[in-house]
Amino acid sequence: MIEVAGLRVVLPPDVVAVDGVDLVIRPGEFVVILGRSGAGKTTFLRALNRLVEPTAGDVRVGGRAVTGADPATLRALRRQIGMVFQQFNLVRRASVLDNVLAGRLGWAPALPTLFGHFPAEDRRIALECLAQVGLADFAQRRADTLSGGEQQRVAIARALAQSPAVILADEPTASLDPALTGSIMDLLKTIRARRGLTLVVSQHQLETALAYATRVVGFRQGRVVFDGPPAALSPAVASTIYAEEPRRSPQGGHP
Partner 1 sequence: MLAWTAWDTGADPARFARGVPWIVDFLRRMLPPDLRVLPAALVGAIKTLEIALLGTAVAAVLALPLGFLSARNVAAPPVFHPARAALNFFRSVDTLVYALVFVAAVGLGPFPGVLAVVAYTTTSLAKLYSEAIEGIERGPVDAITATGATRLQVLRFGVLPQVLPLFLSYVLYRLETNIRAATVLGFVGAGGIGFYLQTYLRMIDYPAASTVLLVTVLMVMVVDAVSSRLRARLV
Ligand X SMILES: Nc1ncnc2c1ncn2[C@@H]1O[C@H](COP(=O)(O)OP(=O)(O)OP(=O)(O)O)[C@@H](O)[C@H]1O
Which of the choices ligand X, Mg ion, partner 1, none does residue 85 contact, using the CB cut-off of 5 to 8 A by kind? Answer: partner 1
* Segment interacting with ligand X (CB under 6 A) among 37-45, 104-112, 186-194, 210-218: 37-45
If binding is defined by CB under 8 A, does position 175 make contact with partner 1? Answer: no
Alpha carbons 33 and 68: distance in angstroms, whole number = 25
If binding is defined by CB under 5 A, does position 132 make contact with Mg ion? Answer: no
CA 164 to chain centre: 12
Tell me which DSSP letter residue 87 carries.
Answer: T
* Segment interacting with partner 1 (CB under 8 A) among 6-14, 77-85, 122-130, 215-223: 77-85
Among 51, 210, 225, 238, binds partner 1 (CB under 8 A): 51
Kindly provide the b/e burial profile for residues 134-152, where b requires at least 16 CB atoms within 10 angstroms of the residue's own CB.
ebeebbeebbeebeebbbb
If binding is defined by CB under 6 A, does position 49 make contact with ligand X? Answer: no
Among 67, 151, 152, 162, binds partner 1 (CB under 8 A): 162
Among 30, 38, 42, 104, binds Mg ion (CB under 5 A): 42
Which of the choices Mg ion, ligand X, partner 1, none does residue 87 contact, using the CB cut-off of 5 to 8 A by kind? Answer: partner 1
Alpha carbons 40 and 33: distance in angstroms, whole number = 10
Among the residues of the chain, which ranges form H helices?
41-48, 71-79, 96-101, 110-114, 120-132, 148-161, 178-195, 206-212, 235-242
Size of the site for Mg ion (CB under 5 A): 1
Q: Which long-range contacts does 61-68 make (Cβ < 8 Å, 24+ apart)?
A: 61/1, 61/2, 61/3, 61/165, 61/166, 62/1, 62/165
Among 2, 7, 35, 85, binds ligand X (CB under 6 A): 35
Which of the choices partner 1, Mg ion, ligand X, none does residue 114 contact, using the CB cut-off of 5 to 8 A by kind? Answer: partner 1
If binding is defined by CB under 8 A, does position 94 make contact with partner 1? Answer: yes
Q: Are 33 and 217 within 8 A, CB to CB?
A: yes
- Whether the bond into 13 is cis, omega within 30 of 0: yes
Please, what is the minimum distance in Å from the beta carbon of residue 96 to partner 1? Answer: 13
If binding is defined by CB under 6 A, does position 201 make contact with ligand X? Answer: no
Among 22, 53, 56, 87, binds partner 1 (CB under 8 A): 87
Report which secondary-structure segment, H or E, holds 201: strand 198-203
Among 1, 4, 17, 188, binds ligand X (CB under 6 A): 17
Pairing relationship of beta strands 215-220 and 223-228 according to DSSP bridges: antiparallel
Alpha carbons 202 and 219: distance in angstroms, whole number = 10
- Which residues contact partner 1 by CB under 8 A? 49, 51, 75-83, 85, 87-94, 98, 102-106, 110, 113-114, 155, 158, 162
- Which residues contact ligand X by CB under 6 A? 11-12, 15, 17, 35, 37-43, 204, 247, 252-254
